[in-house]
Amino acid sequence: MCGIVGYVGNREASAVLIEALKRLEYRGYDSSGIAVLTQSGEKNPLTVIKSPGQISTLEKKVKISGSHTGISHTRWATHGAPNEVNAHPHTDQENSIAVVHNGIIDNHLALKRELAEKGHVFRSKTDSEVIPHIIYEEYKANGNDLFDAVRRAVKKLRGSYAIIVLHRDHPDILVCAREKSPMVLGAGVNEGFIASDVTALLKYTNRFMFMDDGDIAKVTRNGIYIEGPSGEVAAHEWTQVDWSIEDAEKGGFRHFMIKEIFEQPRSLHQSQAGWRSEEDNIPRDLARAEMIRIIACGTSYHAGMVGKHLFERFTGSPTVVSMASEYRFADTTSDNPLMIFITQSGETLDTIMAAREARSRGLKTVAITNVVGSTITRETDITMYQRSGPEIGVAASKTFTSQLMMMYLFSAHMGYHKGYIKRDDYNSIKEHLRHTIRAVEGILNNTAPIKEMGEWFSRCENAFYLGRYINFPTALEGALKMKEISYIHSEGYPAGELKHGPLALLTDKTPIIALVASDHTYEKMLGNIGECSARGSPVIAIAPEGDAEVEKYTDRVLYYPNVDPLFSPIPISVVLQLLAYHAADHRGCSIDKPRNLAKSVTVE
Ligand code: AGP
């Protein structure tokens, strides 16, 4: 979604703001803009420059020197087309105040009507433009106090927002406010930063303070002052984020996604090694949960689906998985499940709202996330970090396999403390996970056959991914990966369901990806492959090394190193990520920033 940045300090603000915006490109955007204050003696020191399209286009237009305070924005259109007028920053009619906004102002039409009656004229079709106009009114009416004006203005807004406000008469101050949209403050030496996420600022600082809903902050080069929703001084802690700028760069790879796929042995190892400290923070009574409910969206939901099987197997507790966007609107149930929220970004609004809903029902809540200090960590009772390192590609790859790792470890931990599995079983699960990481290394050491298959696949327009049991979610995730980056229509299906309708769609141009594991589903899966081959569909089996049987049913097989079948979702997912990547690359797709998608989905 949109990205925002604010800077005040001694550096050239326009350069910092553009550089930081480039780090936010991965969130997805269609236009961008910048507003800075210059001390050039001109009548109005506030300069606003905007542009549709790439940040590089904006960069070419920004020829400013002597700016030390400013704000910038990447826009992902919700209200009004992606053009220069609708791009942020927006200003009041005197061009005295500039505002960047992430989120949606639900009552903008009513506010616009009210302001229009007072003579305000709006230039854009956006909801955001009302904000500088309201602040202008409050500023005039309340003694030219910018902080107070913003505090009064946000009380009139309904919806979600993270805003940064710049005023031409306050050259050393930025005021920002947050409600249901992420916002982080950063500190350097004699400089202050604001951004929608930490990756924007890693080049400049590792010291961050995460704002809460209802907070308003004043950021100057000398420090930060925050007030909470009732006007109380909000003293949040500073957090050291140990991600490096190199982690957030391509490091010689053509795309972030392929770099992140290849990082998986390391990210999986970090998740497993980090589990030791996570484990220490888990209250023992958690294991008494009689029922578990996992909530997530997209790829994280697929990790939760794998988790369902693991929690049921290792703890014996019935486990259900719900999409966050659906759970919120479901009827309240009388049961008392342990609620587990999976969100790599920690900012997905549907998941956050579901966590709030669960807390309001008095349920115990756990978050599994990748981002230290993200919103979900404050909306739940317990946080577990997956430690994948930053993921820039919009399509989740290493964060997914780390989420799977967390599902294995957390469910086995719960089962052991519940007395459902033995200490030896718990240790053996950890050993299987170490072996699985070596299997992932094996796949990455020889990707040529997958690349070749991906290039063949790139010519297709429709495909089915079939899996059973613990690899049904793997099929869903493989299909999601293929559709989001290559735009090939792909559907994940439980292999046994195909004959109940979708078989009608099979042709010799509809490839089937069949996920084979040597468990109790094996023979049935071979039967399903036979069904599809008999109808002329090309079948690509993803099967464990050494399985000669599967070649009798199809001659297209991609092998993954042998692991215990219960752990096969991890290596199979890596094969499917590579398949999607190479298909998309061969089609010339925008792999790291697929059309219409955003990394962090902060709207409902
Ligand atoms: C994954 O490739 C997708 N981009 C998307 O489905 C994502 O997993 C989903 O939006 C949830 O994100 P989260 O884990 O940050 O909550």
- DSSP for 387-449, please give it: ------SSS-SHHHHHHHHHHHHHHHHHHHHHTSS-HHHHHHHHHHHHHHHHHHHHHHH--HH
CATH number at residue 14: 3.60.20.10
Which CATH number is 260's domain given? 3.40.50.10490
Distance, CA 257 to ligand 1 centroid (Å)?
14
Residues facing residue 193 across a β-bridge? 7, 186
| Calculated CA dihedral for residues 592, 593, 598, 599, nearest 10 degrees | 20
> Of the residues 204, 232, 247, which one is the last residue of a structural domain?
247
- Whole-angstrom distance, CA of residue 88 vs CA of residue 123: 12
* Residue 76 covered by a domain: yes
> Do 240 and 256 have their domain in common?
no
Cβ(415)–Cβ(316) below 8 Å: yes
What atom of ligand 1 comes closest to residue 395's alpha carbon? 2
| pLDDT given for residue 246 in this prediction | 80
CA of 132 to the centre of ligand 1 (A): 32
Q: Which of 36-45, 227-236, 310-319, 503-512 has the highest mean pLDDT?
A: 310-319
How many C-beta atoms lie closer than 10 Å to residue 169's C-beta?
Answer: 13
| Of residues 247 and 240, more confidently modeled | 240
Take residue 571 and report the two structure tokens written for it: 């290596």
Q: What integer pLDDT is reported at residue 567 of this predicted model?
A: 98
Q: Quote the CA–CA distance of 191 and 13 in Å, as a whole number.
A: 10
Instruction: State the Cα–Cα distance between residues 446 and 487, nearest whole angstrom.
Output: 26
Place of tokens 């309904």: 158
| 79 neighbors 103 (Cβ within 8 angstroms) | no
Q: Is 196 helix (H, G, I), strand (E, B) or coil?
A: coil
**Identity (one letter) of the amino acid at 135?**
I
Catalytic residue among 308, 418, 481, 599: 599
Q: Name 233's bridge partners.
A: 227
What are 381-411's pLDDT values in tens digits?
A: 999 999 999 999 999 999 999 999 999 999 9
In one letter, which amino acid is 313? Answer: R
Q: What is the 3-state secondary structure (H, E, C) of 467-518?
A: ECHHHHHHHHHHHHHHHHHHCCEEEEEEHHHHHHCHHHHCCCCCCEEEECCC
- For residue 21, being part of any structural domain is answered with yes
Ligand 1 atom closest to residue 399's alpha carbon, by position in its atom list: 14
The catalytic residue among 2, 297, 532, 589 is 2
- Whether 403 and 519 share a structural domain: no
Looking at residue 210, its pLDDT comes to 93
Residues 349 and 462 in one domain: no
Note the pLDDT tens digit of each residue in 344-373. 999 999 999 999 999 998 999 999 999 988
pLDDT digits over 493-522, tens only? 999 998 898 888 998 899 999 999 999 999
Task: State which amino acid sits at residue 423.
Answer: R
The verdict on 295 and 393 lying in the same domain is yes
Burial pattern 529-545, b for ≥16 Cβ within 10 A else e, equals: bebbbebebbbbbbbbe
In tens, the pLDDT along 26-74 reads 777 789 999 999 876 657 799 999 999 889 999 999 988 899 999 999 9
For ligand 1, atom 6: residue with the closest CA: 298
Is residue 379 scored above 90 in pLDDT? Answer: yes
**317 φ/ψ angles, rounded to the nearest 5 degrees:** -90, 130
**Best substitution site from 1, 294, 299, 376 to test ligand 1's pocket, by max atoms within 8 Å of Cβ?**
299
Q: Is 125 in the same domain as 227? A: yes
At residue 152, does pLDDT exceed 60?
yes
Question: Amino acid identity, residue 552?
Answer: K
| Closest residue CA from atom 4 of ligand 1 | 395
Do 45 and 174 reside in the same domain of the chain? yes
- The answer to whether residue 34 sits within a structural domain is yes
Cis peptide before 538 (omega within 30 of 0): no
Q: What is the pLDDT of residue 596?
A: 83
The answer to whether residues 108 and 120 belong to one domain is yes
Q: Which residues, other chains included, contact 126 with Cβ-Cβ below 8 Å and sequence gap of 6+?
A: 79, 80, 86, 88, 90
Taking residues 280-297, what's their average pLDDT?
A: 92
Ligand 1 atom, smallest distance to 348 CA = 16
Residue 83 lies in a domain: yes
Q: Domain of 117?
A: 3-247
Distance (Å) of CA 15 to CA 61, 71, 245, 437: 12, 11, 17, 41
Separation of alpha carbons 159 and 176, rounded Å:
16
Question: Catalytic: 2?
Answer: yes
> Catalytic residue at 460?
no
Other CB atoms within a 10 A radius of the CB of residue 183 amount to 27
The structure tokens 């989905």 sit at 601
Using CA atoms, how far apart are residues 352 and 296, in angstroms rounded to an integer? 9
Taking the centre of ligand 1 as the mean of its atom positions, its distance from the CA of residue 300, in whole angstroms, is 6
Number of the ligand 1 atom closest to the C-alpha atom of 297: 11
Give the residue from 190, 216, 247 where a domain finishes: 247
Mean pLDDT, range 440-455, rounded to an integer: 96
| CA–centroid distance, residue 348 to ligand 1 (Å) | 8
- 425-443 average pLDDT score: 97
Dihedral over Cα of 521, 523, 527, 530: its sign: positive
**Whether residue 83 has pLDDT greater than 80:** yes
What is the whole-number distance in angstroms between the Cα of residue 346 and the centre of ligand 1? 10
Say which amino acid occupies 182: P
Question: Do 264 and 205 fall into the same domain?
Answer: no
Minimal CA–CA distance to 445: which of 561, 576, 583, 548?
561
Would you say residue 95 lies in a domain?
Answer: yes
Q: What is the pLDDT of residue 222?
A: 92
Residue found under tokens 């925008």: 590
Residue 227 lies inside a defined structural domain of this protein: yes
Starting at the earlier edge strand, list the strands of the sheet with 489-494: 489-494, 462-467, 512-515, 539-544, 556-560
pTM of the predicted model, to two decimals? 0.84
Share of the chain above pLDDT 70, in %: 99
pLDDT at 178 over 60: yes
* Alpha carbon distance 190, 291 (integer Å): 51
The Cβ of residue 138 has, within 10 Å, a number of other Cβ atoms equal to 20
Percentage with pLDDT > 90 across the chain: 80
377 vs 242, more confident:
377
Gyration radius from the chain CA atoms: 26
Going by alpha carbons, the residue nearest to atom 3 of ligand 1 is 395
Predicted pLDDT at 329: 82
Q: How far is the CA of 254 from the centre of ligand 1 (A)?
A: 22
Atom of ligand 1 at shortest distance to CA of 597? 4
Q: DSSP secondary-structure letter at 36? A: E
Instruction: Assess contact for 495 and 514: CB atoms under 8 A.
Output: yes
Inside any domain, residue 164? yes
Pocket of ligand 1 (CB under 6 A): 297-300, 343-345, 348, 351, 394-396, 484, 601
Domain count across the chain: 3
One domain, residues 180 and 329: no
Report yes or no: 465 and 587 within 8 Å, Cβ to Cβ: no
DSSP category for residue 288 = G
3-state class (DSSP) for residue 578:
helix
Domain end (from 399, 419, 445): 445
Distances (CA, A) of 417 to 112, 279, 293, 421: 58, 11, 19, 8
Q: What angle do helix axes 298-315 and 472-486 make, rounded to 10 degrees?
A: 170
* 54 found inside a domain: yes
Whose C-alpha lies nearest to ligand 1, atom 12? 343
Q: Please report, to the nearest 10 degrees, the dihedral formed by the alpha carbons of residues 284, 287, 290, 293 taken in order.
A: 110
Looking at this protein, which amino acid is placed at residue 84?
Answer: E
| 172 φ/ψ angles, rounded to the nearest 5 degrees | -115, 20
For residues 27 and 176, state if they share a domain: yes
Read off the pLDDT band of 90 (50, 70, 90).
very high
Q: Are 301 and 325 in contact (CB under 8 A)?
A: no
Shared domain check, 224 and 286: no
Question: Are 535 and 481 in the same domain?
Answer: yes
**What pLDDT sits at residue 449?**
96
Residues 6+ apart with CB under 8 A from 377: 346, 367, 369, 383
CA distance 463 to 538: 10
